[in-house]
Amino acid sequence: MIGNWKMHTTPSEARELARELRERLDGIREADIAVCPPATSIAAVAEALTGSNIAWGAQNAHWAQTGAFTGEISTSALKELGCTYVIVGHSERRHVFGESDEMVAKRLARVIASGLVPILCVGETEQERQQGQTDEVLRRQLELACADIEEPPAIAAYEPVWAIGTGRRAEIGDVETVHRFIRERLAARFGSKAEGIRILYGGSLKPANVADLASSEEFDGGLVGGASLSAASFAELIARAIERRNH
Ligand code: PGA
pLDDT in tens, 9-67: 999 999 999 999 999 999 999 999 999 999 999 999 999 999 999 999 999 999 999 99
Q: How far apart are CA 19 and CA 13, in angstroms?
A: 10
Nearest Cα residue to atom 2 of ligand 1? 225
Ligand 1 atom nearest to CA at 121: 9
- Which residues touch 150 (CB under 8 Å, ≥6 apart)? none
What pLDDT score does 247 carry? 83
Ligand 1: residues with CB < 6 A are 4, 159, 164-165, 202-205, 223-227
Ligand 1 atom nearest to CA at 164: 5
Nearest Cα residue to atom 7 of ligand 1? 225
| Of 237, 244, 212, 239, residue with least CA distance to 223 | 237
What pLDDT score does 203 carry? 98
**Is this structure's pTM higher than 0.85?**
yes
Angle at 158 between CA 152 and CA 162, to 5 degrees: 150
Residue spans of alpha helices (H) in 96-246 = 101-114, 126-130, 134-145, 172-190, 211-214, 231-245
Which domains are present in the chain? 2-246 (3.20.20.70)
pLDDT tens across the length of the chain (247 residues): 999 999 999 999 999 999 999 999 999 999 999 999 999 999 999 999 999 999 999 999 999 999 999 999 999 999 999 999 999 999 999 999 999 999 999 999 999 999 999 999 999 999 999 999 999 999 999 999 999 999 999 999 999 999 999 999 999 999 999 999 999 999 999 999 999 999 999 999 999 999 999 999 999 999 999 999 999 999 999 999 999 998 8
